[in-house]
């Protein structure tokens, strides 16, 4: 799994393949679920981290859709 700071760099994320992006998205979804449980339990010290994970997940999903559209257009 890429670090959260690496996921903010769109250039690095765009270099990944569609399968790698899907894997990263799945890992982010799992991490976000854990963070939500921790938030309810009062274990999260910085609730803004959830926002960062959500935005990174949205960024990855957007790039996946873009790659799928380019692939459909070319093939």
Domain ranges of the chain: 4-74
- % of the chain surpassing 90 pLDDT: 79
Within 10 angstroms of residue 13's Cβ, the number of other Cβ atoms is: 19
Secondary structure percentages of the chain, helix, strand, coil, to 5: 80, 0, 20
Residue 41 makes CB contacts below 8 A (sequence gap 6+) with none
Question: What DSSP element (H or E) covers 11?
Answer: helix 10-14
Residue 72 pLDDT class (50, 70, 90 cuts) = confident
pLDDT at 15: 94
d(CA 39, CA 41): 5
pLDDT at 3: 87
Question: What DSSP element (H or E) covers 69?
Answer: helix 48-74
Q: If one looks up domain 4-74 in CATH, what number appears?
A: 1.10.287.310
């Amino acid at each position: 799994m890429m670090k959260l700071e690496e996921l903010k760099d769109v250039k690095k994320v765009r270099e990944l393949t569609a399968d790698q992006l899907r894997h990263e998205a799945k890992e982010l979804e799992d991490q976000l679920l854990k963070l939500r449980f921790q938030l309810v339990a009062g274990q999260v010290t910085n609730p803004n981290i959830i926002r960062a994970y959500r935005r990174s997940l949205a960024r990855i999903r957007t790039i996946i859709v873009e790659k799928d559209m380019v692939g459909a257009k070319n093939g």
